[in-house]
Copies of this chain bind each other. A is one copy, B any other.
Amino acid sequence: MANLDGFSDTLSGIVGTGQLLVGTDIPVEYARDEALEVQAQQPGWLVRPDDTEQVAAVIRAANEHGVPVTARGSGSGLSAGARPEPGGLVLSFERMNAILELDTENHVAVVQPGVTLGELEERTAEVGLVYPVYPGELGGSLGGNVNTNAGGMRAVRYGVTRQHVLGLQAVLGTGEVIRSGGKPVKVSSGYDLTQLIIGSEGTLAVVTEATVKLQPRLTRNATVLAPFADLDQVMHAVPRLLSSGVAPHILEYIDALTMGAITYTAELTLGIPDTVRDAAQAYLVVGLENREEDRLQGDIELVGELLGTLGAIEVYVPDGTNAHKLIEAREKAFWSAKAAGAHDIVDIVVPRAALPEFLAKARELAAAGGSGVVGCGHAGDGNVHLAVFQQDPRLRSALLRDMFAVAMTLGGAISGEHGLGTTKTPYFLELEDPTKIALMSRIKQAFDPRNILNPSVILGSPESDPR
């Protein structure tokens, strides 16, 4: 460890004494995020900068002193990507939470990283626009969304964070400030640093501003719910539904157990008769939106007809209130799983047609080790959210490893939208092609030569393996 004399003084000189907390003065919520079964890790310093200049000065000082830096948005991550390093520095963006510009001519917003999705949703609604990426947690910060390349339910139509961030301001590990991209929707002038930084989980640069693309807000929407005998039929229906051109913005599957849990938690009554419920092993939820009511009705009809021919046991169109409750309950599936005692949540992604095969194998692996996996997921994207029930950390870790390996063999990846964080990084380092790991390490070196930015994440050293 480098010489830390005077580091605290330097920090308070930059952000002011009121915005620096040291050691045990730092509240425990800064020591973790929402990842399950992960021990909190007390940081050495917490700073709450006010602007990019302060962020740059803090990182320059940390780089000089060799102090690891973890950027923190609202702490709603699920992979412990915002868990500090022991004796490290937490850079909290809670005070950099302004929507700097809402540009209705270019249809973009310029935001600071601490802005939450909820605030952006509210402000864009006022001008008839929308930022359509919707990871479900409205308390999540835009900075965190950029760092994890957050996805969510609407990705099947609108894409993920990556497709909606046009430009960034960011601070490298050296403290240098860059701007990449901007308001134009297309650029072909040098390497796309914006795209490289998105999803890099705070390991390449610390994002201090993002320019995001907005689009017209569609005001008519409806939800179609279809129980199926099994998941194979659901997944067979998905490409056929999409081929119709109907373009749903939500296309979720929910397994029978998870449906039970979320409807119970949400006190949701969908009026599904017992006979149907008993026969249904999987549900498909289709969200539709349009600018015109008659087109929406036409789409509902088309989807209903199609699902009928594709084996749905029944097709329901819940009324506005229940539809809203259902989507909200699905969004809160993580909390239902947590309440039910789940020990981990994974967000593995595979080519969507491989979902049934993946899930069959995952269940086999779980059963063999006495574990349980249940869940739901983005059927249109091949992205599952599995709650893993296995108290024994070693058995759980072995199951996770095997599930990740199966997914990768099927052409998938460890994480579709939560990021690797500190919890999934060890599996990534074990399972990913060493040539790519070496290349990524060289890229990391290009941005952060002293390896101070979130060093346990993505390319964490073997010593930081928490397993």
- The chain A residues found within 8 Å of chain B, CB to CB, are 103-108, 128-129, 148-151, 155, 159-160, 162-163, 172, 176-180, 182-193, 195-196, 198-200, 204, 215-216, 218, 239, 242-246, 291-292, 295, 298, 349-353, 381-383, 411-420, 424, 428, 432-433, 435-436, 439-440, 442-447, 458
Q: Which residues of B contact A444 (CB under 8 A)?
A: 191
Q: Is the CB of A106 within 8 A of B193?
A: no
Cα distance, A152 to B359, chains bound together (Å): 40
Could you list 8 examples of A-B contacts with CB < 8 Å? A105-B353, A107-B243, A155-B186, A183-B382, A184-B411, A189-B413, A191-B440, A216-B243
Q: Which residues of B contact A180 (CB under 8 A)?
A: 436
Q: Is the CB of B433 within 8 A of A178?
A: yes
User: Do A352 and B106 contact each other (CB < 8 Å), given the known contacts A178-B436, A445-B446?
Assistant: yes
Q: Which residues of B contact A190 (CB under 8 A)?
A: 420, 428, 432, 436, 440, 458
User: Do A183 and B351 contact each other (CB < 8 Å), given the known contacts A239-B105, A415-B188, A446-B439?
Assistant: yes
Cβ-neighbour of A381 out of B186, B199, B204, B420 (below 8 A): B186
Per assembly, the copies of the chain total 2
Q: Is the CB of B191 within 8 A of A458?
A: yes
Q: Is the CB of B195 within 8 A of A162?
A: yes
Q: Which residues of B contact A242 (CB under 8 A)?
A: 107, 215-216
Smallest beta-carbon distance A193→chain B, Å? 7
User: Do A196 and B191 contact each other (CB < 8 Å), given the known contacts A172-B439, A239-B105, A244-B291?
Assistant: yes
Cβ-neighbour of A160 out of B107, B186, B415 (below 8 A): B186
Cα distance, A163 to B439, chains bound together (Å): 23
Cα distance, A390 to B46, chains bound together (Å): 59
Smallest beta-carbon distance A434→chain B, Å? 10
Interface SS of A by simple majority: loop
Smallest beta-carbon distance A150→chain B, Å? 8
Q: Is the CB of A195 within 8 A of B193?
A: no
Cα distance, A458 to B187, chains bound together (Å): 13
Cα distance, A396 to B424, chains bound together (Å): 54
Further 13 A-B residue pairs, CB within 8 A, beyond A193-B436, A246-B291? A105-B352, A106-B382, A128-B243, A162-B192, A178-B433, A183-B351, A184-B349, A188-B413, A189-B424, A191-B204, A193-B439, A216-B242, A442-B446
Smallest beta-carbon distance A281→chain B, Å? 21
A79 to chain B: closest residue by CB: B188
Q: Is the CB of A351 within 8 A of B184?
A: yes
A444 to chain B: closest residue by CB: B191
Q: Which residues of B contact A443 (CB under 8 A)?
A: 191, 196, 443, 446
Cβ-neighbour of A188 out of B187, B199, B246, B435 (below 8 A): B199
Q: Is the CB of B149 within 8 A of A353?
A: no
A235 to chain B: closest residue by CB: B105
Q: Which residues of B contact A351 (CB under 8 A)?
A: 103, 106, 108, 182-184
Cα distance, A292 to B245, chains bound together (Å): 10
Cα distance, A241 to B215, chains bound together (Å): 12
A187 to chain B: closest residue by CB: B413
Q: Which residues of B contact A107 (CB under 8 A)?
A: 239, 242-243
Q: Is the CB of A415 within 8 A of B198?
A: no
A108 to chain B: closest residue by CB: B351
